[in-house]
């Protein structure tokens, strides 16, 4: 006949070391801090690059606004009399919109969005990246 063998008789009960829990938790905390530092570095790099891109984009917008005649159309709003302005405001508004450098403004707004997003993410990961380890 088959004998029932109890597993407790074969295997001895082994107690884990007393420091196992604190060791595992400290390694998890170190890994989370390392991941947060990597994320912080990436977000800082993206923010720095997008901030550097804003300089040539701003000068490009200024140059395109100057060459397109945008300033002249804007100055018409202040120099025209109210009768003339009310009679031809649609043509003046369309001319003003046509003279805007839309590609440069679109690129600048995209770059500002990326810069804002990276600063937001960078500030969020800053606390986790540079916090001290809690000893358990």
In a domain, 18, yes or no: no
In a domain, 43, yes or no: yes
Query: First CA to last CA across the chain, in angstroms?
Result: 53
In a domain, 96, yes or no: yes
- State which residues form the domain around 82: 28-129
Query: Are 116 and 47 in contact, with CB atoms under 8 Å apart?
Result: no
Residue 3 DSSP SS3: coil
Residue 12 DSSP SS3: coil
In a domain, 17, yes or no: no
Q: What is the pLDDT of residues 30-65, one digit of tens each?
A: 998 899 899 999 999 999 999 999 999 999 888 888
Residue range 80-109: mean pLDDT, rounded:
81
Residue 55 DSSP SS3: helix
φ, ψ at 123 (rounded to 5°): -65, -30
Token pair of 90 as six digits: 């649609």
Residue 129 DSSP SS3: helix
Residue 3 pLDDT grade (very low, low, confident, very high; cuts 50, 70, 90): low
For residues 68 and 6, give the distance between their C-alpha atoms in angstroms, rounded to a whole number.
Answer: 90
φ, ψ at 126 (rounded to 5°): -65, -40
In a domain, 33, yes or no: yes
Percent of the chain with pLDDT over 90: 30
Is the confidence at residue 2, as pLDDT, over 60? Answer: no
Total domains in the fold of the chain: 1
**Count of other CB atoms within 10 angstroms of residue 75:** 10
Token pair of 83 as six digits: 């009768």
In a domain, 13, yes or no: no
What's the residue count for the chain? Answer: 136
Please tell me the predicted confidence (pLDDT) of residue 23.
92
What does each C-alpha distance from 88 to 70, 73, 82, 83 come to in angstroms?
A: 17, 12, 10, 9
């Amino acid at each position: 006949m088959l004998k029932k063998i109890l597993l407790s008789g074969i295997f001895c009960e082994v107690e884990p070391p007393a420091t196992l829990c604190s060791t595992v938790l400290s390694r998890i905390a170190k890994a989370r801090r390392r991941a947060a530092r990597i994320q912080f570095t990436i977000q800082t790099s993206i923010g720095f690059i997008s901030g550097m891109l804003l300089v040539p984009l701003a000068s490009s917008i200024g140059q395109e606004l100057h060459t397109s005649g945008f300033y002249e159309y804007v100055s018409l709003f202040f120099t025209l009399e109210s009768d003339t302005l009310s009679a031809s405001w649609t043509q003046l508004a369309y001319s003003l919109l046509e003279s805007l450098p839309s590609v440069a403004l679109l690129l600048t707004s995209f770059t500002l969005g990326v810069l804002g997003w990276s600063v937001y993410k960078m500030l969020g990961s800053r606390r986790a990246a540079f916090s001290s380890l809690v000893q358990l």
